[in-house]
Structure 1
Amino acid sequence: MSASTERPALPDGVTVFERGWLSANNILLRGPDGSALIDSGYASHSAQTLALVGQALGGQPLDQLFNTHLHSDHCGGNAALQAAYPRLHTAIPPGEAELVRHWDEDRLSYQATGQHCPRFHFNAVLQPGQTLRLGAADWQVHAAPGHDPHSVVFFEPATRTLISADALWQTGFGVVFPELEGESAFDAVGATLDLIESLAPRTVIPGHGAVFHDAPAALEVARRRLDGFQRQPDKHQQYATKVLLKFKLLEWQQIDLPDLARWMQRTPYMVTAAQRQGQAPDGAWLRDLVGQLLASGAARLDGERLLNL
């Protein structure tokens, strides 16, 4: 008898809204005790997030909102959801609670990345090691530093389902943001990959991209990528700047090159990246960065206007 090729099912009551790369995937969990959403997407996609959640709930309220981490593509829809559901209980990872309480955009990532996140509030802080009843199952909360030092992942042991955020994608993992600030974090990425391997998930719901079922293969890809970045940190810096520019281009869809140069000059991560190469965040450095996007097919030029592809 041949081995079964049937893919593992998601836990009962789990719906995954796979979003484009501007917004993180949203995971809706429904059960007898209410509903919960993990991650809320980017601010400019808030109307779509509300529509997806509202349609799935069929007029019932959303009870709880959780963020795996506080990058703008994962919590940018928080404010809109809180406005739509006034009784919504929101929990965020530990580490940045006071920054959110006082809305310190200089120390949150939004100012540094040149991204937008409407102010939101929270009711509780997630604690790694705790188990939460979400939807119809019990989910473990695990610390997952690296991409973000305060990130968490959620694991449901009965079906071995992992909500991995940006700690593991099918093709790698997210930009290691602490490294952009001069803080060592590649070892933390490796430790989080080791954690995921120890959990042995059968199903992975990543922060971006489709649900997948071959965690060992994804971990192998991620470790090769991490090894390359550790050997040549400049490659990570180059990758990160391209990702940040592509992210903004997804939001803008098109921008004139002079306006792009002005955005680069006032975006701290871009300024720092250019300075590390002894250049300014415009001129030759910017032309080279745009050229890399063009060569990869991520954008095209129409005269002096850069267009998203």
Structure 2
Amino acid sequence: MSSARELLPAGVFVLERGWLSSNNIVVRGTTQAALVDSGYWTHSKQTLGLVESILGGMPLTTLANTHLHSDHCGGNAALQQRYPALRTCIPPGLAAVVRDWDPVALSYEPTGQECPRFVHHGVLMPGAGIRLGDLDWEVHCAPGHDPHSVVLFEPASRTLISADALWQNGFGVVFPELEGDRAFGEVAGTLDLIEQLAPRVVIPGHGAVFTDVAEALARARSRLAAYVQDPHRHAAHAAKVLLKFKLLELQRAPLRDFARWAESTPYFLLVHRRWFADQPLQEWLLTLISELVRAGAAHRDTEFIANS
């Protein structure tokens, strides 16, 4: 039986990263190469090394971001510095915000994350497509996890770069829902789009390349139905994701400092205020940390918390 990676088009290489950094997809053509998503900023040096190991001296001419969360575009600035002729394309919805560089509108300050400033040179216009390497990819809107996200589909091989719209076991936190905007329906619509595209192989934003698309869609729809039935479940999951994401960056921190970070992070406070205001903030925070520890996602002693 062929592995999922063996079904990828010639010239497509997937650098599977840990959950702090999104997967990097290198597409090598005859004379030039492209990269989809650039990982988290603290991993920029590693990203450069991994990409260069695939390029083998071939020029990197195009960088495409499926969306602008910090774990997908944090390496943009380092790549632009290394490759001055690099053309960076982003989804159109935040083009003006990137041009003016508003870290609040870009979600970096509200989520307590960082992303070095970068520039963009074009947009991934849905319906227009983009050429990566020697392959032509369709650009499709994929709102839900992020209202401006796109997915990329190569129809000849039926390869889908799904970003955080579909993983093998779910999808990314639906951030607009936390702000009070109805977006679960958009998640459902994006899952329907993926089903209509009928990909043969999927490269997710995080995790392994996979081919069991029907099963993945079924799992995603089951999870979505649970969130629709109980939005508090989704909000609690999102709060733990924010904590875990920061812990992945810090690896180990004094519990007091980690709690201070959470209590000063606007998005964390927003989730508490909208969904868990009946619980004192510090009590709620300690409950979430305890749940991460029980799940094996963190380790805690008297004074420190560490990633597991």
Aligned length: 305
1:308 paired to 2:296: no
Q: Is the 8 A contact 1:131 1:139 kept in 2?
A: yes
TM-superposed CA distance for 1:109, in Å, is 0.9
TM-score w.r.t. the length of structure 1 is: 0.96
1:108 paired to 2:106: yes
TM-superposed CA distance for 1:174, in Å, is 0.2
CA distance in 1, matches of 2:280, 2:35: 38
TM-superposed CA distance for 1:257, in Å, is 1.5
Aligned to 2:213: 215
1:231 paired to 2:220: no
Question: How many percent identity over aligned positions?
Answer: 60
Question: Residue deviations 1:245-291, cap 9 Å, x none?
Answer: 00100000011111112111221111111223125774211110111
TM-superposed CA distance for 1:132, in Å, is 2.0
Residue identity matched to 2:2: E
Within 5 Å, give how 1:128-143 maps onto structure 2.
128-143=126-141
Aligned to 2:254: 256
Question: Residue deviations 1:168-199, cap 9 Å, x none?
Answer: 00000000011111111000000000000000
CA root-mean-square deviation: 1.2
3-state SS, counterpart of residue 213 of structure 1: coil
Aligned to 1:123: 121
1:6 paired to 2:5: no
CA distance in 1, matches of 2:303, 2:167: 34
TM-score w.r.t. the length of structure 2 is: 0.97
CA distance in 1, matches of 2:31, 2:107: 34
TM-superposed CA distance for 1:136, in Å, is 2.3
3-state SS, counterpart of residue 192 of structure 1: helix
CA distance in 1, matches of 2:53, 2:178: 39
CA distance in 2, matches of 1:136, 1:59: 17
Where does the alignment leave 5 or more consecutive residues of structure 2 unmatched? none
- Of 146, 167, 170, which residue of structure 1 is paired with 2:165? 167
- Of 33, 36, 52, which residue of structure 2 is paired with 1:35? 33
Structure 1 segments, 4+ long, off by >3 Å, are 279-282
TM-superposed CA distance for 1:33, in Å, is 4.7
Aligned to 1:94: 92
Q: Is the 8 A contact 1:275 1:281 kept in 2?
A: no
Q: Is the 8 A contact 2:31 2:58 kept in 1?
A: no
CA distance in 1, matches of 2:64, 2:280: 36
Aligned to 1:242: 240
> Which of 270-279 and 158-167 deviates more?
270-279
CA distance in 1, matches of 2:214, 2:98: 36
3-state SS, counterpart of residue 60 of structure 2: coil
CA distance in 1, matches of 2:152, 2:48: 23
- Of 61, 74, 80, which residue of structure 2 is paired with 1:63? 61
